[in-house]
Amino acid sequence: MTRRRWIADEVSGNTAALIGEHAEHLAVVLRAQPGQRFDVAVAGVLRAARVVSVSPNRVEFELGQELRAPSLVKLTLLLAVYKFDRMEWAIEKCVELGVARVVPVLARRTDAHLARAAEARVDRWRRLALQASEQARRTVPAAVEAPEKLKQAVLRTAATRILLAETEEQKSLKEALQTHTSQTRCLPHSIAQNAIEWGTHDADDELLLAVGPEGGWTEDELTLFSEAGWISASLGPTILRAETAAIAATAIAFSELA
């Protein structure tokens, strides 16, 4: 039977712990008992673990042998801020699929009240990302950064930067991802082998994927991406909701690059 996986909040030597609300779910909802065995991820390394103490706000584990874990493409999702309920759905599902980092972006078509409230929402998004990471049995929780203005976000660097745009009629996302595949194949063998064996990635292996808000990117934003050297790509002729586009694009990226 597959053991449930947790991502530790604290670690000291061969002891790890979940704390606060994170621990409450295991202690109160799942009724963990000393002696139960789980897999626990500590600083990106997966370890076999045994529960040694349980309280409503703290569960401690004794760490055992190191376990192997699969690697994932290092994908950062630049997600324009839109209605929070739909955005949270996108964050949760994209993290389950494997997104390593989510950067909320304040776009021109982001409603002003959502832009003002976004900063206060980050802690909730991070909790959702942690829960989704554990659900997907990942060894490192997906990061959710503080909201950024678009002019700052477009300057981020990576091996490949792809902008999803409804106006793009020539290049599909699948075709754009071939650029990333060809570039990462040129990485030094030591870096590529490290990614395969241990699930880590060099910064040169990162993929950035930008998904716009409800109503899409404006013309001046498309120009901003173009001038910064981003590749435009399409998800096809249909018009998708923002959250659907984010989830579909993430699934396609991992399917093509796995």
136 phi/psi in degrees, rounded to 5: -85, 5
Six-digit token pair at 57? 């706000």
What pLDDT digit, counting tens, does each position of 191-246 carry? 333 333 333 344 457 999 999 999 999 999 999 999 999 999 999 988 899 999 99
Six-digit token pair at 22? 């994170």
From residue 167, give the alpha-carbon distance in Å to each of 23, 171, 182, 235. Answer: 46, 10, 25, 11
For 5-67, the fitting CATH number among 1.20.1440.230, 3.30.1280.10, 3.40.50.300, 2.40.240.20 is 2.40.240.20
pTM comes to 0.78
Angle between helices 173-184 and 242-257 (to 10 degrees): 40
The answer on pLDDT for 78 being more than 50 is: yes
> What is the arithmetic mean of pLDDT over 157-161?
92
The answer on pLDDT for 184 being more than 70 is: no
The pLDDT assigned to 73 comes to 81
Q: Are 47 and 39 in contact (CB under 8 A)?
A: yes
Each domain of the chain, given as residue ranges in start order, spans 5-67, 75-257
What pLDDT digit, counting tens, does each position of 30-44 carry? 899 999 999 999 988
> What is the arithmetic mean of pLDDT over 148-170?
93
The pLDDT assigned to 197 comes to 32
Taking each continuous run of H as one helix and of E as one strand, the counts in the chain are 8, 13
Choose the weakest-confidence range: 13-17, 144-148, 179-183.
179-183
Contacts of 183 (CB under 8 A, 6+ apart): 159, 160, 204
Note whether 5-67 and 75-257 share their fold: no
What pLDDT digit, counting tens, does each position of 243-252 carry? 999 999 999 9
What are residue 59's DSSP bridge partners?
Answer: 18, 54
Q: 88 pLDDT band (50/70/90 cuts)?
A: very high
> What is the arithmetic mean of pLDDT over 139-146?
93
CA angle 135, 18, 146 (to 5 degrees): 70
Choose the weakest-confidence range: 100-104, 110-114, 149-153, 175-179.
175-179
Please give the Cα distance from 77 to 103 (Å, whole number).
Answer: 6
Q: Give percent of the chain above pLDDT 70.
A: 89
The answer on pLDDT for 116 being more than 50 is: yes
Please give the Cα distance from 207 to 36 (Å, whole number).
Answer: 38
Angle between helices 242-257 and 84-97 (to 10 degrees): 10
Q: 121 pLDDT band (50/70/90 cuts)?
A: very high
Question: What is the CATH code of the structural domain delimited by 75-257?
Answer: 3.40.1280.10
Q: Are 238 and 168 in contact (CB under 8 A)?
A: no
Q: 5 pLDDT band (50/70/90 cuts)?
A: confident
Which amino acid does the sequence have at 128?
L
> What is the arithmetic mean of pLDDT over 76-101?
96
